[in-house]
Each structure stands twice: as C-alpha cells, then as structure tokens.
Amino acid sequence: MKKLLNYFFQGLLVVIPISVTIVVIYKIIFWIDGLLPFQLPVKLPGIGDVNIPGLGILTIVVGITIFGYFAKFFVANPFFLLLERLLERTPLLKIIYTSVKDLIEAFVGEKKRFNQPVLVTVNKESQVQRIGFITKNDLTEIGISNQKLAVYLPFSYGFNGQLVIVPSENVEKINASGTEMMKFVISGGVTEVD
C-alpha cells in the first residue's frame, strides 16, 4: 500500500505541473486571441473555416514588431515627441502613461530594473529578511535622505508587491541574477537557483 501511495505522489509531481502549465498557456492564448476584434480563420480542404488558437498571438507579435521597427525611426519625430509631452502633461493620462511606460522599460528598456537583487532586513530584532530589488539608489529628488534606497519587494505566487524605503545598512546585495531571484520569490522559495 505504501508503494502505491508513493507512486501516486510521484505521479502528482509529474502531472500537476504539466497540467497547470498547459491550462495556463491555453487560457493565455485564448485570452490574447480574444483581444483582437477579428478572428483569423484558416480554410482547410473538406472542413471549411477553422479558427486556430494562437494566430491572434502571432498577429499581435508581428504587429508589435513592425510597429517597433517604424517607431525606432519616429521616436525622434517632432509629432511623436509632441504627443508624448501632451500625454505626460495631462493630469490623469500622465499617471497612467508614465507608470505603464516606466514599468515596461523596467523589464525591456535600456534602463532595466529588477536586476539588483538584495536581502532586506525588515525587522532587526527578529532578523526577518525579505528578498527585493533595488529600483532607485538616490531618493534626494523626492526629499529623502541619500542614505536610503527604494526597494521593490515582490510577493510570492503573484505578480504584485510593495515598494519600501529602507536605510542602506538594511540592504545586502545577493550574488545572483535578477531573473533567478524573481523566480525564487514568486515560487515562494521552492525554485532551485542556478
């Protein structure tokens, strides 16, 4: 009986991660396909029009890549700069536009963030520490002492977190890549770090 139970648990270790991955990818593909205002049916001989999942993702990726190609030439365009300045000065639009732009740049832009993983001492008495990422070393522009840092503390099993301002002596750099540490935190510490 014990062997059967061990086989069952071994099966769970194989089946659950694969199943969850397939379901999540399936849901993401159909969600992204649903973002398009049109469907891309493919004509198959003898069957007729068939909607193939994933063509929406392919269309979006190709569209964004083409847009990025042309944007590279138009970023310095006065019209684009005027539009960007207008968005950055309009009260409500400014908050949305600059926040989203900064977040995207943090992951794929030239000013990548989340690449300096650190260990932050949250409570010195109990020695509670959290893994975070330095997002800003100099806070004097917002009136905070230059001996403090902005650190983003992601939550496990989610893509949200909180920004904390801590004294620099409470921050200890971690010798690992930002990607590995983000996976480690999001998984709740169960992912292996290379």
Q: Which residue has the higher pLDDT, 187 or 118?
A: 118
pLDDT band at 135 (very low <50, low <70, confident <90, very high): confident
Cβ-proximal residues to 141 (8 Å cutoff; 6+ apart), any chain: none
Q: CA-CA distance, 114 to 7, in Å (whole number)?
A: 40
Please give the average per-residue pLDDT across 163-180, as a whole number.
81
Q: CA-CA distance, 191 to 186, in Å (whole number)?
A: 9
Residue spans of the domains in the chain: they are: 55-108, 117-186
With vertex at residue 134, the alpha carbon angle to CA 128 and CA 140, rounded to the nearest 5 degrees, is 110
Q: Radius of gyration of the chain from Cα atoms?
A: 23
Cβ-proximal residues to 78 (8 Å cutoff; 6+ apart), any chain: none
Write the single-letter amino acid at 2: K
- What pLDDT is attached to residue 173? 84
pLDDT band at 33 (very low <50, low <70, confident <90, very high): confident
What's this model's pTM, rounded to 2 decimal places?
0.53
Summary mean pLDDT of the chain: 78
Q: What share of the chain is helix, strand, coil (3-state, %, to 5)?
A: 50, 20, 30
Q: In this structure, what DSSP letter does residue 36 have?
A: S
- What pLDDT is attached to residue 145? 75
Please give the average per-residue pLDDT across 39-54, as a whole number.
73
